[in-house]
Amino acid sequence: MEKEKKDFKERMRAWTMRERKKALPHSIIALAIVLLIMFTEPFWNSVDVPENTRPDNVEHRISMVGDMMTGRHVQDAAEQAGEPLSRVFRYTAPYFHESDYVTGNLEVPVMDDRMDDFDDLLDEYEFDKLIHLYGPLGTIEALQYAGFDSVNFANNHTLDYGTLSFDQTMEHMKGTGIEMVGIGHRLGDETGEIVVEGDEFGEDGFEEDGWGEEGFEDDEFAQDGESDDPAAGGEEDNGGMEDGDAGNEEPARDERTQDEIIEDENMDAARISYHELENGPTIAVLGITDVFYPNFSAGQSYGVFTTSFVGEGTSSSGLELMQQRIREADQNADIVMVHVHWGEEYQVGYNDEQAAMARIMSRSGADVIIGHHSHVLEEVEILSMEAPDGTTNSTLVMYGLGNFVFDQGWTRTKESTLAQLDILDDGSSQVSFIPMNVIDSTPRATQGIMKPYRDWRMFRTLRKNLDRDLWHTEDGRLVVDLDAAGVLDWERNE
């Protein structure tokens, strides 16, 4: 036994001596491999800038993306590379340039960090919260280079620095040609009061006779908040409107330009942004957030459009005004698109509150819901709801488009998509999703030997709640047939 122990120790000592001699060359080899990967990464991880992204049969194209954050490490990476911030759109700008309308969620206020006392101002104005974000002035040049027509500011970071955030954003966005939604000097009419039709809503912003304590209809949602089909169920409520209340008369549109409104310090956070496509439909866009801090809500003073009780001196829920504005947009435009910041960060699938809110928006007349905040991809769903006038409205709900420009590093936060709604020359319509990876804060189409798996993984998430006859894959895209889904009937209404 003693001899065996001695032999074992001798063998271990000999093995240790041999490995010690190999340690240096092995370390050198490992370092060389790491350096090789670092220095060759720009070559093997690069992609060609796409060309001819729009087929000839596309009459009109609307592009939509999720969360964009142009500060923090995104800004650092651009500065270290000696490139402008617009570098983040180098692989996606061609898709935007060949679109008729481009919109996304801007997760930062736009601020001038070149001011001498900028850091002191940040310390003075920062709101009491854990994470504070801002985007430098290069953000505007980047958005202009990419071709954005509008951005949503109704989110949980626009007012991270309070008045400083708001004033700087208004000052620097003026004259850019990029429409802002979800932010304003006030909310409601000229006095800051919210004017809504009817008084059927309870304290939670839902109808007292149709919704339970959690804001869900008692006969559709179990006490644990679970439902197999949030859009299914029995008799629907009418969104706070009696049949016929919407009326046939189109409400007047504010014809002032955004710059004129900013100059007058008179922007309504619930303002509807209209855009007429050449020889095509009129688009209406608005933005609202269900994720916010109490002082973020616009009311009689500046803020963002939130779902909460809004602003000092008002007594109405933002949900009420949201429904009214969607109905107004529905009467003035052919396609109503709503940006909504909602849900939980990094959640797998939407929650019951999002499902209920989506139904409210659909019933009010929303055609497309552009969801963001979770930083990961979420399901796409088609809702068909009965409107107050008895007609049925179908809505494309994109619960979460994920990060588009961001500096988060784990796999799911780097999976993204660019959604493109197309109206084809034969009158049909569809929405397609281009699978993308965010690498070095820069989105680009998936590539390489892992592309089939990555595409399948993303498509599986997006199509999870779609009927099989509504979708197919084509040219590396997930395509959803909006005609078959009953979404966008604007031509039939003409």
Whether 320 and 205 have beta carbons less than 8 Å apart is answered as: yes
Range 110-146 burial, b when 16+ CB lie within 10 A, else e: bbebeeeeeeebbeebeeeeeebbbbbebbbebbebb
Q: With bands split at pLDDT 50, 70 and 90, how would you rate the model's confidence at 209? A: very low
Task: Record the tokens describing residue 445, joined without a space.
Answer: 């189409």
Closest CA to 95 of 419, 470, 439, 326: 419
Residue 12 has pLDDT above 80, yes or no: no
The reported pLDDT for the residue numbered 31 is 78
Question: Is pLDDT larger for residue 431 or for residue 26?
Answer: 431
pLDDT tens-digit series, residues 49-73: 899 999 999 999 999 999 999 999 9
DSSP string, 304-332: E-BSSB-STT---BHHHHHHHHHHHHHHH
Its pTM surpasses 0.75: yes
The reported pLDDT for the residue numbered 169 is 98
pLDDT tens-digit series, residues 437-494: 999 999 999 998 999 999 999 999 999 999 999 999 999 999 999 999 999 876 544 4
How far is the C-alpha of 398 from the C-alpha of 371, rounded, in Å? 6
pLDDT tens-digit series, residues 210-242: 333 333 333 332 223 333 333 333 333 333 333
* Stretch 363-377: mean pLDDT: 97
The reported pLDDT for the residue numbered 29 is 78
* Stretch 418-423: mean pLDDT: 98
pLDDT tens-digit series, residues 296-323: 989 878 999 999 865 555 556 789 999 9
What is the residue extent of each domain of the chain?
8-45, 57-191+253-485
**pLDDT over 70 for what percent of the chain?**
79
Residue 476 neighbours by CB under 8 Å, 6+ apart: 434, 435, 445, 446, 455
How far is the C-alpha of 319 from the C-alpha of 327, rounded, in Å? 12
The reported pLDDT for the residue numbered 403 is 97
58 in helix, strand or coil? strand
What average pLDDT does the structure give for the chain? 84
How far is the C-alpha of 313 from the C-alpha of 329, rounded, in Å? 26
The reported pLDDT for the residue numbered 5 is 61
Whether 442 and 360 have beta carbons less than 8 Å apart is answered as: no
Q: With bands split at pLDDT 50, 70 and 90, how would you rate the model's confidence at 2? A: low
Of the CA atoms within 13 Å of residue 334, those in its CB half-sphere come to 15
Whether 59 and 411 have beta carbons less than 8 Å apart is answered as: no
* Stretch 133-147: mean pLDDT: 98
| Class (C level, CATH) for 57-191+253-485 | alpha beta
How far is the C-alpha of 105 from the C-alpha of 336, rounded, in Å? 16
The reported pLDDT for the residue numbered 409 is 83
pLDDT tens-digit series, residues 331-355: 999 999 999 999 999 998 999 999 9
The reported pLDDT for the residue numbered 191 is 52
Sign of CA dihedral 123, 128, 131, 137: negative
The reported pLDDT for the residue numbered 225 is 31
The reported pLDDT for the residue numbered 489 is 76
Residue 111 has pLDDT above 90, yes or no: yes
